[in-house]
Amino acid sequence: MLIDSHCHLDFPDFIEDRDDVIRRAREVGVRLMLTISTKITEADKIISLAEAYDDIVCSIGIHPHEAGREPETTAEELARIASHPKVVGIGETGLDYYYEHSPREAQKKNFQAHIAASRDTNLPLIVHARDADTDTAMILEQEVAKGRFPGLIHCFTAGPELAERALNIGMYISFSGIATFKNAKEIRDVIEIVPLDRILVETDAPFLAPTPHRGKRNEPSFVRHTAELIANIKNISYQEFIDISGTNFFNLFSKASPPKISNQSHIASSSNT
């Protein structure tokens, strides 16, 4: 099935028309959406959103941009919140040296706490890495030596070295609409080398709308464009790719289950969630 493995449906961009956005996703065959936490202080909000829809699950965590602003959170506290049935992943977390909205040391400490929570809960670690390839790979490799944990690099924009190092420790790689951009040849080259059984697909909505919607607000229905691109690169049919990537999603996010509703099911009345 087609799954948007990373979006931000709790963001203000979707307040006015979230039901319509979810309906459009269902109409193009998106069967499940994973909405991603960026602030621990908004954990209740994102869990409530996921509770309102059968085909939405969520993560819990602190984005590296927020590492210096959100309360310092222990692995134990992350694990406690992640015990909720709708929480299927830890993050997003990681390192961002491009914007550096938070001090690097705060980002690293936050990253390590999330890794410990992932290890303790066996919920996948959702990693954000931008202009921080060396430190990201080093921390992941150091931490996996202490005990394995599942995870993925989301919205992959780095080169083959980070991909190979992540794959070597058992992680998955998720690609967003950036891969469809004309100048994204390096990302498409990475897609060629990542095994099919380690690929996920995402939107990162409301950001990074793929071609042909570039410049617009992104939304989960647009994930099909990235899926079509990857299927073409891998020289398989679109249906085969979404079958494989859907299986990959549930292999990684093993706490998640396929939704009971159909794509045409009634939208929850939760516009104010």
Binding-site residue set for a divalent metal cation: 6, 8, 92, 128, 154, 204
CA 67 to chain centre: 18
Question: CA dihedral in degrees (256, 257, 258, 260; nearest 10)?
Answer: -120
DSSP result, 247-273: HHHHHHSTT----SS-TTSPPPS-TT-
Per the annotation, binding residues are: 6, 8, 92, 128, 154, 204
In angstroms, rounded to a whole number, what is the distance separating the alpha carbons of residues 203 and 229? 13
In angstroms, rounded to a whole number, what is the distance separating the alpha carbons of residues 49 and 46? 5
- Which amino acid would we find at residue 204? D
- Which amino acid would we find at residue 48? S
Which of 71, 69, 68 is closest to 103 using CA atoms? 68
